[in-house]
Chains A and B, each alone.
Chain A
Amino acid sequence: MFEQQLINGLTLGSIYAIVALGYTLVFGVLEILNMAHGEIFMFGAFIGLLMVVQFGAPIPIAILAAVLVTAVMGFLLERFALRPLRGKKGVSHLAPLISTIGVSIFLENLAHHLFGAETQPFPVSFARISFEIGGVKIYLVQLTIFLIAVALMIGLSLWLQKTKAGKGLRATAESIETANLLGVNTQRIITLTVIIASAMGGIAGVLVGMAFNAVSPQMGLAIGLKGLAIIILGGMGNIKGAMVGGLILGLTEVMSVAYGDSGYRDAIAFLMIIVILLVRPQGLFGSPATQVKR
């Protein structure tokens, strides 16, 4: 049974990790907690569902469509909720937080109107395909999610390290002013960052919809809060931290249900961040020097 729970934990953890990647990217560059990330994720799930159910599209096409739509949403989010606040005098660092909370409320209720309040099943043929290794049942869906999570993490790290845009992004993350001076088009980098993060949310949405066979307008909030906890745990703006933090949280939650009291499951994420913040405020992978710039 332990092995089975381990698989459950890893699956949940990789989902958390993908969601957290989107958060951490935006925070790394903008130092903004994008509270609307969960809702963009939810829209991704619905777009994927629409493609599969209405148009009978295969999964890769559905994911592509979700990526496109959520990327556009990311652009709109940056354009209308974040850009007007940037560089404005007298804007506290809390303004973007509140603005994105506004966007999340808006999107959740918009989804109510567009898609209805019901939880909808996400029918995929390969959801039932599984294989057994040493008495442990592993589903193809679980494996896919895990692999996509790892691929995204590696891809993102490589992109940040190797490409010009990635370097510009890192420069922007260090200091917007300096990057500007060095000839980086920070405006474009910032927009790009939010778009990429949102698109990753879209991928995560489709995956979660498939994994649990459920899509609903409320799915964003719950997972959004978990994502928030993870980036604190892993260290804000840290990609490896988001990945490891996600896996740790997923495993801990599953193990607490398996061997403890399932009633406290939702408290774990937050107890964990409280402890982390008190003991090691920069998170597991953050370095003390870069922590809390303001």
Chain B
Amino acid sequence: MKKSLIKFLGVLLSVFLVLSVAACGGSQEATNGGENSSNSNAGEEQSGGESGGGGEQVARIGVISYLSGNGAAYGEAITSGFKMAQEEINEKYKGQLKIELLIEDSAGQRDQALNAAQKLINSENVLAILGPTLSSEMFVVGPEADQAGVPIMGTSTTANGIPEIGPYVFRNSIPESLAIPASTKKAVEHFGIKKVALIYGHDDDFTLSGYEIMKDTAEKLGLEIVKTEKYATGDTDFSAQLTNIQAAQPDAILASSLYKEGGLILDQARKMGIDVPVVGGNGFNSPQVIVQAGEAAEGVVVASPWFPERDVEEVQTFVKKFQDKYGKIPDQFAAQAYDALYIMTQAILDAGTTEDRDALRDSLAEIKDFKGVTGNFSFDEVGSPIMDPIVLIIKDGKFVEFTD
């Protein structure tokens, strides 16, 4: 009896040992960067890093991302954006600055996000943190980072009240309160919408806050709300809700939904013969909606800081490189992450240090008119972005700018 237990424990232990050794081999630390010489790296000016004195400074930046579980797709997009930016930055500033990313998984759970943050802050001693993915995770991680004096920037956290957590908390994701009114207004003007129906995911903070803004917007624009329907995250059957909406005969549907459910809603609505315009929240702003809904995605209106078709050189290079590397068009999550690391790098260069977190915070707050792939970017006084969203519509299987 004793023997068998000891044997069992022994086996268990050795399994873990083997696994952790394997883990060390394939550790997530992504320190890419073309080691191939031949690069005229010194072309860049040494902007700030005088103390560097020729030596390459290493900035360790923590990333907390949703990499396993239900929403792993978001985390994947985000970390892809980070990794691509990292590669480019390390190439560009070779000999001056090297970005090291320490990527931690939160599995979308707050306790794990908090553990990850504590690890990054206290064990890994990172300079700053990018992430976490969900607003709810930020509500837990943000106060901790703020208290520890570590600058933290969310790239996908759109809920109200996040930058207000504290002076060290930033975000570069455009809040829904900017995006939704822009898209709704444009759609209302263009299609002459009078009556709308709303549908939203009621058990998710992102889609719920999006809904509240939609409702507000609709009331402000004097629209009549003929039907409001809810669903739960992970639902696949929307026929009952859509039958109700169909019966109410709205001129348009306002949908606050992540693209997973969003694509299904579109597909099922169009099959049922509901062909009114659909105005979506930020969650609809993903090429994945088109992949998933196909033809049914035609006519969806969204507002977004990110527009992969935008006729700007940087945007097109980014899209092409991303597509070569990951086999898909980058979505808003990838683009915002990509920009976030550039913004962070800019702030590090401005501060001229890879050690001093306070100096980094100050220079981060100073960021103005940064030109990223998601457009012109500045922080407001609390640390939220100021930028103009573009209104887009899906036409012929593509997002295009929505013009009258």
Q: Give the interface of A toward B (CB within 8 A).
A: 1, 4-5, 8-9, 11-12, 109, 112, 116-121, 123, 127-128, 137, 139, 208, 211-214, 216, 218-219, 221-222, 253-255, 257-258, 261-263, 265-266
7 closest Cβ pairs, A-B complex? A257-B240, A117-B72, A8-B239, A212-B236, A254-B240, A117-B73, A262-B230
Given A216-B260, A257-B241, answer yes or no on A123-B294 (Cβ-Cβ < 8 Å). Answer: yes
Map CB proximity to A onto B224-268 as digits: 1 under 8 Å, 0 otherwise.
000001111011110111011001000000000000100110011
Interface of B is mostly: helix
The answer on a CB contact under 8 Å between B267 and A213 is yes
B243 touches A119 (CB 8 A): no
Known: A8-B239, A123-B294, A265-B232. A117 touches B76 (CB 8 A): yes
Contact for B229 among A1, A11, A213, A262, CB less than 8 A: A262
- Residues in A whose Cβ lies below 8 Å from that of B234: 218-219, 221-222
In the complex, what residues of B have CB within 8 A of residue A208's CB?
236
Q: List 30 A-B contacts (CB under 8 A).
A: A8-B243, A9-B240, A112-B68, A112-B72, A117-B70, A117-B76, A118-B73, A120-B292, A121-B263, A121-B292, A121-B293, A137-B273, A208-B236, A211-B237, A213-B267, A214-B236, A214-B264, A216-B260, A218-B70, A222-B235, A254-B239, A255-B240, A257-B229, A257-B244, A258-B240, A258-B243, A262-B241, A263-B202, A265-B231, A265-B232
B288 contacts A by Cβ under 8 Å: yes
Q: Which of chain A's residues has its CB closest to B235's CB?
A: A222
Question: Which residue of the partner chain A has the closest CB to B288?
Answer: A118
Give Cα distance in the complex from A216 to B259, angstroms.
13
* B71 (CB) vs chain A CBs: closest residue: A117
From A9, A116, A128, A265, residue with most partner B Cβ within 10 Å: A265
Chain B minimum-CB-distance residue to A112: B72
Once A119-B264, A253-B240, A263-B202 are accepted as A-B contacts, the answer to whether A109 and B68 lie under 8 Å apart by CB is: yes
- A261 / chain B contacts, CB cutoff of 8 Å: 230
- Bound Cα distance from A12 to B294, whole angstroms: 23
Cα distance A213–B238 when bound, in Å?
Answer: 12
* Residues in chain B near residue A218, CB distance under 8 A: 70, 234
Determine how close the nearest CB of chain A comes to the CB of B128; give it in whole angstroms. Answer: 27
Chain A contacts for B240, CB-based, 8 A: 5, 8-9, 253-255, 257-258, 262
Q: A residues within 8 A CB of B221?
A: none
Closest-by-CB residue of A relative to B236 is A212
A214 touches B232 (CB 8 A): no
A121-B263, A213-B267 in contact; A263/B230 too (CB < 8 A)?
Answer: yes
